[in-house]
Amino acid sequence: MSDAVQPHAERIRRTVKRFFGHDALLPGQAETLAAVLEGKDVLLISPTGSGKSLTYQAAGVLLEGVTVVVSPLLALQQDQMAGLGERHPELRAARLSSAETEAQRAQSLERARTGELEFLFLSPEQLGNDEVRAAVAALAPSLVAVDEAHCVSSWGHDFRPDYFRLGDIIAELGSPPVIAMTATAALPVREDIVDRLRLRDPQVIVTGFERENLALGVVRVTTPEDQRRTVLDLVADGEGGTGIVYCRTRRSAEEYAEDVAALGRRTAVYHAGLPQRRRREVHEAFLAGDFDIIAATSAFGMGIDKPDIRFVVHAQVPESPDTYYQEVGRAGRDGEPALAALVYRSEDLSLGRFFSGGVPNAEDTAAVLRAAAAIDPSSSGWRRQVSDRAGVGVRTSARILNLAEQVAESGGRTGTGKRAVAAVLERAEAHRRLQHSRVDMMRGYAETTRCRSGYLLGYFGEPVTRLCGICDNCRTGVAELAWDGAEKSSPFTPQSPVTHDAFGPGVVTDLEEDRVTVLFEDVGYKTLALDLVEERSLLEPVADSPTSS
């Protein structure tokens, strides 16, 4: 037990035992709770199924006052509320959303005001509403829990523009302590979460990304016919277990749903093109065990709290290791062996580049910047007013405003002139370059002979000290332990800042015996040969900084 936890250990133990029935805590939980009791902000990065929800629930009990839970999906909010209601009926929770009537929302706010509620669930869109935000601020919440916090980051794999303003919104709520939680976050995403949420000297707790029961594997194919046959063979080899088949497009999800159903499995399709009601029905039926297999796009993601998923098959290569590890992490949450298989056809990498964030056109960007300058930003519904005045769609306008804010924060050109427009477009280009580099990292994962678990751990900046023993490369004996720098000195270690003459500043994310991978601010991930780096002095270590630690 760490020194920081010791003063609060008995209080935490009693609370967790009384309200949640646990005799022991999982890694990171006690540290998170102790930090909250000290009044600190926390960024908790912990794998799917590792008990992140318990941390904010127990913290909400330990602190007087209502806990505001910011969660991105109505289905996810409903699951979390149902879990509290079924297991802990004394911990009353309510939701403010479009699914409730105005009278129900008013009743929930009144119950929170009188102390009858412990938890109040909202989406970032609800908190973005001026009236709702004022009503929540009047409650003087004692804690804000931000679930799926990677959505805050414009560098993240599931960025949602409405999360972008949460730092400002939390300040308007009185700046209570914050717990930000996510299952996967590479270094730039961690830094962006801290900045965007304005976390104050946060305690960053990383419990490790490794999943010892999850066997990773890649099957390489060359034709669409081989790809389809391989996916169906993997499903058939699942021996009747529950699974998810992830696809890159809605059409392929629908086709695979039909193919899997033809195998005699209870199958449904899920993607963003379906009506919300149908998506909710599929989600609930899968959790209840009414379906064996879901063929889905990445829209089927957050909130899949089903412990007995035995396999996740990716029919096409996803756009990044971030997305991939988040999605395969839904298998084997019960701790029993599970399979994560990627059916890899190199031509599919082009899908990742195609779907990467585009760059807004100059005319729209100029119109939005002019509209933003002409309207008082403190006025109600400012962003909607900017969109209307500029004649640009709400989401496009919001993205341009977010990009402009990032430019301003980095000291770049602001205003409405050509240089300001160019600065916004260059920021968008930087995002696109990062996304393209993540596609390249997925190619590296699919084609590596390393331990696959080690490759992904290295991507997330985790030290790799052993082989997993259960991935396909380990089982066939081709995997070798990536060099960890222990055998000879090296100026390059994971998480250390460096600079490159052409690529600019970056951070080392992974180190092998013959190569080093660096995440550069302007061009994304690059893997460089160590002999060339040393021969030509391509990389220079720089003094460490608080944001790179």
The answer to which of 41-45, 150-154, 426-430 has the lowest mean pLDDT is: 150-154
Whether the Cβ atoms of residue 460 and residue 206 lie closer than 8 Å to each other: no
What pLDDT score was predicted for residue 290?
95
* Residue ranges matching CATH 2.30.30 in the chain: 483-549
Q: Averaging pLDDT over each range in 16-20, 375-379, 441-445, which range is the top one? A: 441-445
Burial of 422 (0-12, 13-18, 19+ CB in 10 A): middle
* Predicted confidence band of residue 171 (pLDDT cuts 50, 70, 90): very high
Asked if residue 303 has pLDDT above 70, the reply is: no
How far is it, in rounded angstroms, from Cα 470 to Cα 332?
14
pLDDT value, residue 545: 45
CATH class of 214-355: alpha beta
The beta-carbon contacts of 509-516 under 8 Å, at least 24 apart in sequence, are 509/186, 509/187, 509/458, 509/459, 509/460, 509/461, 510/455, 510/458, 510/459, 510/461, 510/482, 511/458, 511/482, 511/483, 511/484, 511/485, 512/450, 512/458, 512/482, 512/483, 513/482, 513/483, 514/483, 516/492
Write out pLDDT tens, residues 73-113: 776 777 777 767 556 666 788 888 878 888 888 888 989 88
Q: What is the pLDDT of residues 234-267, one digit of tens each?
A: 999 877 789 999 999 999 999 999 999 999 999 9
Question: Residue 178: its pLDDT value, please?
Answer: 95
pLDDT at 401 over 80: yes
Check pLDDT > 90 for residue 272. no
* pLDDT bucket at 368, cuts 50 / 70 / 90: very high
Helices (H) and strands (E) in the chain, counts: 21, 18
Q: Which residues make beta-bridge pairs with 541?
A: 498
Containing H/E element for 45? strand 42-45
pLDDT at 86: 59
Is 485 a residue whose pLDDT tops 60? no
- Mean pLDDT across the stretch 52-71? 89
9 band by pLDDT with thresholds 50, 70 and 90: confident
| Secondary structure class of 145 (helix, strand, coil) | strand
User: Given 3-state DSSP classes, what are the helix, strand and coil percentages for the chain, each rounded to the nearest 5?
Assistant: 45, 15, 40
Closest CA to 216 of 327, 134, 304: 327
Structure tokens that stand for 245 in this block: 């088949």
- Please indicate, yes or no, whether the overall pTM of this predicted structure exceeds 0.85: no
Q: Which helix (H) or strand (E) holds 168?
A: helix 166-172
Predicted local distance difference test score (pLDDT) of residue 548: 37
The arithmetic mean of pLDDT across residues 218-233, rounded, is 96
Residue with tokens 């900045």: 195
> In terms of CATH architecture, what is 6-206?
3-Layer(aba) Sandwich (3.40)
CA-based diameter of the chain, in Å? 71
Instruction: Give the per-residue pLDDT at 291.
Output: 95
Is the predicted pLDDT of residue 542 greater than 70, yes or no?
A: yes
Q: Give the pLDDT band (50/70/90) at residue 547.
A: very low
- List the structure tokens of 161: 């523009």
> Which is higher by pLDDT, 350 or 140?
140
Pick the CATH number of 483-549 from 2.20.28, 3.40.50, 2.30.30, 1.10.357: 2.30.30
Distance CA 293, CA 286 (A): 8
Amino acid making up residue 172 = E
Candidate ranges 114-118, 212-216, 415-419, 523-527; pick with highest mean pLDDT: 212-216
Kindly state the percentage of the chain with pLDDT values over 70: 91
The band of 364, judged by pLDDT with boundaries at 50, 70 and 90, is very high
CA distances from residue 390 to 125, 364, 366 in whole angstroms, order as listed:
21, 8, 9
Does the pLDDT value for residue 486 go beyond 80? no
CATH 3.40.50.300 residue ranges for the chain: 6-206, 214-355
When pLDDT is averaged across residues 429-456 and rounded to a whole number, the result is 89
